[in-house]
Structure 1
Amino acid sequence: MSNVVKRSLLTGLRWTSLRLRLVVVFALVALTAAVSASGIAYWLNREAVLTRTQDSALGDFRQEMQGRAASLPLHPTRDDLQNAAVQMASSSPGYSVLLVDERDTGKPIVGNSDLDTFTLDNVPVSLQKAVDKKQPLEAGNKYEYHLFWQRTSIRGTPYLVGGTKIIGGGPTGYMLKSLDQERQDLNSLAWSLGIATGLALIGSALLAQAAATTVLRPVQRLGDAARKLGEGKLDTRLVVSGTDELADLSRTFNRTASSLEKRVADMSARDEASRRFVADMSHELRTPLTALTAVTEVLEDEADSLDPMIAPAVHLVVSETRRLNDLVENLMEVTRFDAGTARLVLDTVDVADQVTACIDARAWLDAVDLDAERGMMVRLDPRRLDVILANLIGNALKHGGSPVRVAVRTEGDELVIEVRDHGPGIPEDVLPHVFDRFYKASASRPRSEGSGLGLSIAMENAHIHGGDITAANSPDGDGAVFVLRLPRDAEPLTRSADGQDAGDRHEEGDAT
């Protein structure tokens, strides 16, 4: 999977996650509000319904007890209690009545309106004790017996049970009122509130979706624009509409992009001017340098016959002229890399022969220990490989200690060349900068007489092959180690570079 596809998937996941968080937050807020409102509404309605039913039933029962039950004889018969209970129940439909009295001590008689529905066993014992308990008469209590009630469940059906005793002698009365209808009404109310809560939740999710879309669409456009800006498309701008915070953010982005584009254009212009200056200067210096080189060669040949006082000056002129010539050549090579005009000229070579030729051409055979098997064939640019090896081995000979060991091996599709010296190593603060242009090591190494471009040119030649160079100190503390890694076949790189050039030329043709 390509990096672009991965980045797109990750961006989509982040976008979806933010949208999901907004929807979840909206839904949770709506759910909390709806559940709270529904719970409060249900609780208030439940108390109102039950209290109204309860007060109505107990009020009727109290009146019947004061009217019919109180008018019974002092010692009523069972039939008297039965008739009174039936009349009390019939006068206020919806509940049953139970009357209890004693003809003799310990011999209760009972009369009820509905024997199958309401018996003394249905009255909670705690309620019977509360009804039979004689209350002390005080300033705040003028009656010996009070009306008590309790909600209970009989065979799964909710009931209201109330009871009181006739003051001054008379039967004890109990009433049983079914609350099943109220339960059904409250269940219907609960279902209605539940449906309302569900609809509120769905509505909040839809509103959250709409709000998320309204908020995230500009954010997504801003993210896409920022990604394009990061990819180098500095002319990217956002369409600004509205006056809210997102519009202000878009305006700020556009101003930032314009400023960045201007700065990059200025820097590119200055960089291009600098490269052109270096290239022109290097080119212009080649003609006088050619003449100077020819003269210094003549002077070098005649140095032995010159005055001993003049000979050192001649040798100095010769060495500095050669150094200046190398510097100009290196500068021209650097400008080719910067301008993107450097190209590979590939050939199939034996690595061992190539390394041997590089060492032999510079008379380093006695100072370099080569470990390379013949027959290791690779396809690369021999001239650029020679430049890389010359810089790495030359650097090891100048700053390290002999012998310099060069080991060549292959690892899969890579060619690995390791150059190791036996010097003091590279200071830790120098390691990150060894491939920087014009950078020279500290006093811990002898001061280089070079230009400071050799290792940077070696790195550029490795990169153009699709490879890399790393620098480190030997684990045993004996010298520095430079490792060159190149693909064994650089042909795909040249094809992709040629295709890119053709595409660039095609786009330029379309633009004109």
Structure 2
Amino acid sequence: MSGQEHAQDRDGTDTADERRGIFTRLRLTSLRLRLVVVFALVALTAAVSASGIAYWLNREAVLTRTQDAALDDFRREMQTRAAALPLRPTQTELQRTAEQMTGGGDYGVVLVGENAEGKQIAGVSDRDLFTMEDVPASLRNAVDDRQEVGEGNPVAYHLYWQRIERDGEPYLVGGSRIVGGGPSGYLLKSLEQERADLASLGWSLAIATLLALIGSALLAQAAATTVLRPVHRLGEAARRLGEGKLDTRLSVSGTDELAELSRTFNKTAASLEKKVADMSAREESSRRFVADMSHELRTPLTALTAVTEVLEDEADALDPMIAPAVNLVVSETRRLHDLVENLMEVTRFDAGTARLVLDTVDVADQVTACIDARAWLDAVELDAERGIMARLDPRRLDVILANLIGNALKHGGSPVRVSVRPGEHELRIEVRDHGPGIPEEVLPHVFDRFYKASASRPRSEGSGLGLSIAVENAHIHGGDITAANSPDGDGAVFVLRLPIGAGGPGERETTGSGDTDRGNDTGADAEGRGRGEDGAT
């Protein structure tokens, strides 16, 4: 991957982080918004319901009071004035009586009767205000309808009323007839003042509803803040805990559900801290044991190695019956020596004590030296231009290349091709073989320690640590190694990527302390750390 591609990846990661931050803020905001909306809806429903009921009750009370007062006054006037008229009054008598019935009030009266000739006549208090044409036919019919007089109905005629609207204004129309004969009377009362009063009441209730809504929103905001503040603190504490700050705790007060949640979080964090501390202590003890064991084994192994070298030199002169046993001892002693050295290297990586000894080198020369030192020139094709300079640890690069190339030679197919390609910010070294490739289920484990691709052969010539050490050496440079099968199905491809001008995270360069690593020539016999031990077949 080129440096430009790296930059794109970083930009993509930053963008994803920004999106996650925005989504987090939106989620928090939406939770606050939901609380405010719920409070507002509850308050709005309650306020509207209360206002509606209050308006309806007041409307009925106002209209009923006005209407009853007008109808009662009209009934009295009919009983005192209209009933005093002759059975067949004249036009003048009806007119005068209608005017007297209003009494200068705010309603109009129409009296309807028959004169001496049997002709229907009418008297109106104010012809511009109220005439018979303004009386609904249904009301006239009801007033003229004679009822049967009985136990439950002592009179034949009753007072009826109806609310109408004329020219956009509300009116009350009532009517009755004199019992025993006489004129019929009709009343028209304006309800405009009552409508204005009710409109004013409606506006007052609407303003009260709006104020209640605003007040509920403010209360909801305060309540949401009260609820979300501990939730936010809990989220921040969880984030710090996820970052590895296991001593994070929340201050707890109160006995509500959020306080109980905070107590549960503190108990969980304390339990997690204890378990991690126990695991770290066990891991440190295990690393110390492996390191101590490896150091203790080096002294006897040094003596054994010297003896096996003597035996190997004298192998040709030994009895043919003894020679195979001697060769087995020699090979197993070397294998044990490599295993001890690899374990020591692994403990350095685990303990974080592995260091780089950086130098500016020609990568093509380093690859050529690695291949030549192991006599692989006939089996390896090298595609690398001289002059590709990089700042690396030459010994660790040799370890990486020896393990990758040796793995390809042992488990792949010849020829093995090694190509070196420089990028803007990184170096790419590809090792490709022509073997059967790596099974898909094995690919995720090729760099695992002691991974065996086949359980039927748990013992092999290698230590099972070669590829894992190779990838650790790449990581300490700030690079990486990936494994995949060739797209054309012809072999496996391992790709090493290293930064050209840096020495890994926070460049670590030493001049003397690097001696602590020099006893481990991990790649010297890398052919023993093949795919069978590190994950491939």
TM-score in terms of structure 2 length = 0.84
Pair 1:474–1:104, CA change in 2 (3 A): farther
Pair 1:6–1:139, CA change in 2 (3 A): same
* Partner in structure 1 of residue 98 of structure 2: 85
CA distance in 2 between partners of 1:400 and 1:445 (Å): 18
Q: Which amino acid is the alignment partner of residue 370 of structure 2? A: C
Matched, 1:360 2:379: no
Q: Which amino acid is the alignment partner of residue 149 of structure 1? A: W
Matched, 1:219 2:231: yes
* Partner in structure 2 of residue 233 of structure 1: 245
* Partner in structure 2 of residue 435 of structure 1: 447
Q: Please show how residues 407-426 of structure 1 align to structure 2 within 5 Å.
A: 407-426=419-438
Pair 1:82–1:375, CA change in 2 (3 A): farther
Pair 1:338–1:170, CA change in 2 (3 A): same
Cα pair 1:358 1:390 within 8 Å, conserved: yes
Secondary structure at the residue paired with 1:460?
helix
Aligned partner (choices 388, 391, 394) of residue 382 of structure 1: 394
Unaligned 5+ segments in structure 2 are 1-13, 511-537
Q: CA deviation at 1:143?
A: 5.3
1:356-414 per-residue CA deviation (whole Å, 9 max, x = no partner) reads: 22222222222223333333333332222222222122112222222223233345433
* Partner in structure 2 of residue 508 of structure 1: none
CA distance in 2 between partners of 1:497 and 1:151 (Å): 101
Q: CA deviation at 1:321?
A: 1.4
CA distance in 2 between partners of 1:447 and 1:479 (Å): 24
CA distance in 1 between partners of 2:270 and 2:246 (Å): 8
Q: Which amino acid is the alignment partner of residue 223 of structure 1? A: G
CA distance in 1 between partners of 2:205 and 2:24 (Å): 40
Pair 1:105–1:209, CA change in 2 (3 A): farther
Secondary structure at the residue paired with 1:276?
helix
Pair 1:179–1:327, CA change in 2 (3 A): same
Matched, 1:371 2:368: no
CA distance in 2 between partners of 1:25 and 1:399 (Å): 67
Secondary structure at the residue paired with 2:110?
strand
* Partner in structure 1 of residue 519 of structure 2: none
* Partner in structure 2 of residue 509 of structure 1: none
CA distance in 1 between partners of 2:345 and 2:450 (Å): 14
Q: CA deviation at 1:322?
A: 1.3
* Partner in structure 2 of residue 501 of structure 1: none
Q: CA deviation at 1:36?
A: 1.0
Matched, 1:473 2:485: yes
CA distance in 2 between partners of 1:422 and 1:445 (Å): 23
Cα pair 2:160 2:176 within 8 Å, conserved: yes
CA distance in 1 between partners of 2:483 and 2:39 (Å): 56
Q: CA deviation at 1:240?
A: 2.1
Pair 1:68–1:336, CA change in 2 (3 A): same
Q: Please show how residues 322-333 of structure 1 align to structure 2 within 5 Å.
A: 322-333=334-345
Cα pair 1:368 1:406 within 8 Å, conserved: yes
CA distance in 2 between partners of 1:158 and 1:95 (Å): 13
Cα pair 2:425 2:499 within 8 Å, conserved: yes
Q: Which amino acid is the alignment partner of residue 57 of structure 2? A: L
Matched, 1:207 2:201: no
The farther-off stretch of 317-326 and 351-360 is 351-360
Q: Which amino acid is the alignment partner of residue 56 of structure 1? A: A
The farther-off stretch of 196-205 and 226-235 is 196-205
Q: Which amino acid is the alignment partner of residue 365 of structure 1? A: L
1:303-332 per-residue CA deviation (whole Å, 9 max, x = no partner) reads: 111111111111111111111111112111
Q: Please show how residues 493-512 of structure 1 align to structure 2 within 5 Å.
A: 493-495=505-507
Matched, 1:265 2:277: yes
* Partner in structure 2 of residue 38 of structure 1: 51
CA distance in 2 between partners of 1:409 and 1:143 (Å): 118
Cα pair 1:369 1:405 within 8 Å, conserved: yes
Q: CA deviation at 1:447?
A: 6.6
The farther-off stretch of 2-11 and 339-348 is 2-11
CA distance in 2 between partners of 1:121 and 1:497 (Å): 112
Q: CA deviation at 1:443?
A: 5.8
CA distance in 2 between partners of 1:415 and 1:114 (Å): 109
Q: Which amino acid is the alignment partner of residue 449 of structure 1? A: E
Q: CA deviation at 1:29?
A: 0.9
Secondary structure at the residue paired with 1:476?
coil
Cα pair 1:423 1:479 within 8 Å, conserved: yes
* Partner in structure 2 of residue 48 of structure 1: 61
* Partner in structure 2 of residue 503 of structure 1: none
Secondary structure at the residue paired with 1:493?
coil
TM-score in terms of structure 1 length = 0.88
Cα pair 1:427 1:444 within 8 Å, conserved: no
Matched, 1:157 2:208: no
* Partner in structure 2 of residue 188 of structure 1: 200
Aligned partner (choices 26, 32, 50) of residue 19 of structure 1: 32
Aligned partner (choices 197, 204, 220) of residue 209 of structure 2: 197
Q: Which amino acid is the alignment partner of residue 307 of structure 1? A: D
Q: Looking at both structures, which has the greater relative contact order when contacts are Cα pairs under 8 Å and sequence separation is at least 6?
A: 2
CA distance in 2 between partners of 1:256 and 1:444 (Å): 43
Q: Which amino acid is the alignment partner of residue 64 of structure 1? A: E
Percent sequence identity over matched residues?
79
The farther-off stretch of 103-112 and 316-325 is 103-112
CA distance in 1 between partners of 2:415 and 2:116 (Å): 132
CA distance in 1 between partners of 2:460 and 2:185 (Å): 120
Unaligned 5+ segments in structure 1 are 499-512
The farther-off stretch of 99-108 and 327-336 is 99-108
CA distance in 1 between partners of 2:199 and 2:319 (Å): 124
Q: CA deviation at 1:271?
A: 0.9
* Partner in structure 2 of residue 148 of structure 1: 160
CA distance in 1 between partners of 2:118 and 2:400 (Å): 123
Cα pair 2:475 2:504 within 8 Å, conserved: no
CA distance in 1 between partners of 2:509 and 2:123 (Å): 111
Q: Which amino acid is the alignment partner of residue 44 of structure 1? A: L
The farther-off stretch of 149-158 and 9-18 is 9-18
Secondary structure at the residue paired with 1:222?
helix
The farther-off stretch of 239-248 and 131-140 is 131-140
Pair 1:497–1:51, CA change in 2 (3 A): farther
Pair 1:166–1:418, CA change in 2 (3 A): farther
Q: CA deviation at 1:162?
A: 1.7
